[in-house]
Amino acid sequence: MTPLERTFCLVKPDGVQRGIVGEVLRRFESRGLKLVGLKMVHISRAIAEEYYAEHRGKPFFPGLVDYVTSGPAVAMLWEGENAVVVVRKTMGATDPAKAEPGTIRADFGLTISRNVVHGSDSIESANREAALFFKPDEILAYDRAHDAWIQG
C-alpha cells in the first residue's frame, strides 16, 4: 500500500463569493480523498504575506495579498494516496484557459488571477501552508468504512 499523503487546498475568495465551495469539496471527495481539516477563514495580511512568501518582491505580490485578504476563503486538508498530485490534477493548470476540460479551474476559473482554488505543489509546501491555517487539534484522524475499497 502506498503511504498516505496530506495536502493543503484553499478555495479563494472568488470561489466563496461565487458559491462553488461545495462543488470543489465534491470533486475532491469523488477522487477518493479524505477531508481531515476544514474551516472558513478571513486571511490576515500577515498570514497572506507568509502564505505567498515565495512571491515576495515580484510585481504581482501586492495584488496577491490584496486579493486573498479581500473576503472569506475556505481552508482544507485532504488525505489520500498521492494526495498532492491528485489535488493538483483535479484543480487543473493555474491558467484556466490552459486547464484540461473537466478540471475545477477549466470549469470555474475566469482568469489566472481568479482561478478559484489553490493547492500545495509538494508535501513540504502542504505542511508549511497547513501550519498557517490549522492547529494540530483541528486536523482529524478517522476511519471511513469505504477506505479499504479505495486504498491500494
Domain harbouring 66, CATH code: 3.30.70.141
Of 38-42, 131-135, 148-152, the least confident:
148-152
> What value does the mean pLDDT of the chain take?
95
Coil vs helix vs strand at 100: coil
| CB atoms closer than 10 angstroms to residue 97 | 12
The answer on pLDDT for 150 being more than 90 is: no
Supply the pLDDT for residue 146. Answer: 81
Mean pLDDT check: name the lowest of 3-7, 18-22, 82-86: 3-7
Longest dimension (CA), the chain: 48
SS3 content of the chain, % helix, strand, coil (to 5): 45, 20, 35
| Residue 118 among the catalytic residues | yes
Position 152 pLDDT exceeds 70 = no
Strand order in the sheet with 34-41: 34-41, 73-81, 4-11, 117-119
Q: Tell me the residue type at 114.
A: R
Separation of alpha carbons 55 and 106, rounded Å: 24
pLDDT tens-digit series, residues 68-124: 999 999 999 999 999 999 999 999 999 999 999 999 999 999 999 899 999 999 999
Confirm whether 149 is domain-assigned.
no
Do the domain assignments include residue 151? no
Whether 147 is covered by a domain: the verdict is: no
Q: Quick one: which H or E segment has residue 75?
A: strand 73-81
Domain count, the chain: 1
Within-domain flag for 150:
no
pLDDT of residue 50 exceeding 80, the answer is yes
Domain that holds residue 65: 4-142
Residue 98 lies in a domain: yes
- Asked, for residue 122, whether it belongs to a domain, the answer is yes
Whether 152 maps to a domain, the answer reads no
Residue 73 lies in a domain: yes
When comparing pLDDT for 59 and 3, which is higher?
Answer: 59
Distance, CA of 82 to CA of 20 (rounded, Å) = 24
